[in-house]
Chain A
């Protein structure tokens, strides 16, 4: 337990008068990889958006004791970086200019006026995501996997202690899925708290330090992958059977069959 923990206390989110998330409480520690799991419509994205401050939430969300609702916008943006689902880029900017937007919360409005600190953060983010060689390319010329890495690089460039990623591996081939998850895992080793929404039970079981399992807006389980991702619970929440195995002491989980 650390003073920089992200603390969720009775977090509720309502959209259009319907409660999509009710009374979620948890404590998430820096340096840990937290997987947010649950069926479609369970409230995963809403929880991530509430933490990012994009939707108003009941209860209290605090980072290191500071309520995020009370934080000034750019201060919050410096501490919590958000990688939304399905990256859209509306103008064909260069990869470097897109990544430079990660420095916007630090006051960098024009990439041409980057300070040394900004430039360093941008280079490091490009390097860690393997995009350094493509930095001058237009994002519109890139493949889906490359675009996802640009989006991740933009998120890393903020150098925020909390990284929220909403389905960062959706629509990517297995190689990119693993690459993206590895980059996020490396960030946790550097002390960041990474919260990733995912539908990939296997990657969650393998990489996460903590799993939050949501179902119909409620937190049904919170703990290590071994504690949370039991065959019985997965059957209850997802309505599927899983194949369970192990390799080098790491749990292997694979969706196997539906339960009639």
Chain B
């Protein structure tokens, strides 16, 4: 841990208690900005009026039918990705952990793509989300079957790597065997990850799973703090580490599966959000959870606004933008952790 981090970690408690409200206000502001952004510019005041059923009818339709689902999904998906990242990092006690580590998003994407390729679904049908959630669940069960319920973290990470590689290969095969070029293109676009053209039905489908996942993950925060002292000590303090691992993976599968289902794969929010919040929360793996969720929401809302503002021949997919920003960030984190990582996974 660098000296800069250590000093930042000593921020007074008063600052920490202001963090969550400040992030909530920022998320609300970005939410309203998201409602106002698009081909038809709508001022924040008008956007709120339209939400409340006042103002012009055209604006009301644009807001409630097109932009509200999009903003809600950014809020929910960004939030669960941030929370899932914080939970995974708490479980693995490693700031480089992210939900994609256990292969759930890749498996969800594969399941969805397979159904497109087989012609069961098209990219906008409701069979697609169901398949993605099932894929995320299946990956968890495969992971636990391969690694065993009381497996070491190294074993889990390796099994997760195998699951995600297999899912990636399956996705490639599905595209390879796609019935026609349009199906392959549809798959490719969907894989990029986007919140464009989502309806309130998408929100209704994803929200219950995401909310359940958030409740499940948030409830484990005390155990994450106990895990600061390692698994043996946590176990000796009364934490059921085997059960905790199962619950976290289940929560992540639910949240990530539902997110991938309606928005494709949007990466790196789960890595970046907790990292930004960590020094502001005194590095506490429990206190970081709500700020990480809010920061995840803010990041995805902001990215989703940015893709609508960046001039391009066709709208840049938000998953592409988060990857372009996220991957260099990931490399930077690896560089900073190089010495610790060279010593092997603990």
A binds B: yes
20 A-B Cβ contacts within 8 A? A49-B232, A53-B235, A78-B238, A82-B233, A84-B230, A88-B346, A92-B5, A93-B228, A93-B282, A93-B283, A94-B282, A97-B282, A97-B284, A101-B225, A101-B237, A104-B226, A109-B286, A138-B10, A151-B229, A158-B237
Number of interface residues of B (CB under 8 A): 30
Q: Kindly list chain B residues whose C-beta atoms are within 8 Å of the C-beta of A53.
A: 235-236
Among residues of A, the one whose C-beta sits closest to the C-beta of B5 is A92
Q: Kindly list chain A residues whose C-beta atoms are within 8 Å of the C-beta of B238.
A: 73-74, 76-78, 104-105
In the complex, whether A52 has a CB less than 8 A from a CB of chain B is yes
Closest Cβ of chain B: how far from A75's Cβ, in Å? Answer: 8
**When chains A and B are docked, how far (Å) is the Cα of A109 from the Cα of B238?**
11
A84 touches B233 (CB 8 A): yes
* A73, A98, A151, A158, most chain B CB atoms within 10 A: A73
In the complex, whether A90 has a CB less than 8 A from a CB of chain B is yes
Q: Kindly list chain B residues whose C-beta atoms are within 8 Å of the C-beta of A73.
A: 238-240
Interface string of A123-165 (1 = CB under 8 A from B): 0000000000000001011000000000100100010000000
Interface string of A147-190 (1 = CB under 8 A from B): 00001001000100000000000000000000000000000000
Interface string of B194-237 (1 = CB under 8 A from A): 00000000000000000000000000011001111110110111
In the complex, whether B67 has a CB less than 8 A from a CB of chain A is no
A104 touches B222 (CB 8 A): yes
In the complex, whether B6 has a CB less than 8 A from a CB of chain A is yes
Beyond the given pairs A89-B228, A105-B238, A138-B10, 8 more chain A to chain B contacts, judged by CB atoms under 8 angstroms and listed by A's residue number, are A49-B232, A54-B232, A77-B237, A82-B236, A87-B229, A88-B230, A93-B228, A110-B221
In the complex, whether A256 has a CB less than 8 A from a CB of chain B is no
Q: Kindly list chain B residues whose C-beta atoms are within 8 Å of the C-beta of A78.
A: 238
A91 touches B222 (CB 8 A): no
Among residues of B, the one whose C-beta sits closest to the C-beta of A164 is B236
Closest Cβ of chain B: how far from A207's Cβ, in Å? Answer: 23
B6 touches A91 (CB 8 A): no
B229 touches A89 (CB 8 A): yes
Tell me whether chain B's interface is mostly helix, strand or loop, or mixed: loop
Q: Please tell me which one of the listed residues B6, B237, B287 contacts residue A92 in the complex, with CB atoms under 8 A apart.
A: B6
In the complex, whether B1 has a CB less than 8 A from a CB of chain A is yes
Chain A residues packing against B (C-beta within 8 Å): 49, 52-54, 73-74, 76-78, 80-82, 84, 87-94, 97-98, 101-102, 104-105, 109-110, 138, 140-141, 151, 154, 158
Q: Please tell me which one of the listed residues A81, A82, A90, A105 contacts residue B228 in the complex, with CB atoms under 8 A apart.
A: A90
Q: Please tell me which one of the listed residues A84, A98, A102, A138 contacts residue B232 in the complex, with CB atoms under 8 A apart.
A: A84
Among residues of B, the one whose C-beta sits closest to the C-beta of A151 is B229
**When chains A and B are docked, how far (Å) is the Cα of A175 from the Cα of B296?**
48
Known contacts being A76-B238, A140-B1, is A109 close to B228, with CB within 8 Å?
Answer: no
A141 touches B228 (CB 8 A): no
- List of 4 A-B pairs having minimum Cβ-Cβ separation, nearest first: A109-B222, A82-B236, A77-B238, A90-B93
Closest Cβ of chain A: how far from B333's Cβ, in Å? Answer: 15
A52 touches B236 (CB 8 A): yes
**When chains A and B are docked, how far (Å) is the Cα of A94 from the Cα of B283?**
9
* B221, B232, B287, B346, most chain A CB atoms within 10 A: B232
**When chains A and B are docked, how far (Å) is the Cα of A198 from the Cα of B233?**
19
* A49, A76, A91, A101, most chain B CB atoms within 10 A: A91
Q: Kindly list chain B residues whose C-beta atoms are within 8 Å of the C-beta of A84.
A: 230, 232-233, 236
Q: Kindly list chain A residues whose C-beta atoms are within 8 Å of the C-beta of B282.
A: 93-94, 97
Q: Kindly list chain A residues whose C-beta atoms are within 8 Å of the C-beta of B286.
A: 109-110
In the complex, whether B9 has a CB less than 8 A from a CB of chain A is yes
Closest Cβ of chain A: how far from B7's Cβ, in Å? Answer: 10
Closest Cβ of chain B: how far from A112's Cβ, in Å? Answer: 8
Q: For residues 222 through 269 of chain B, which have their beta carbon under 8 Å from a beta carbon of chain A?
A: 222, 225-230, 232-233, 235-240
Closest Cβ of chain A: how far from B341's Cβ, in Å? Answer: 14
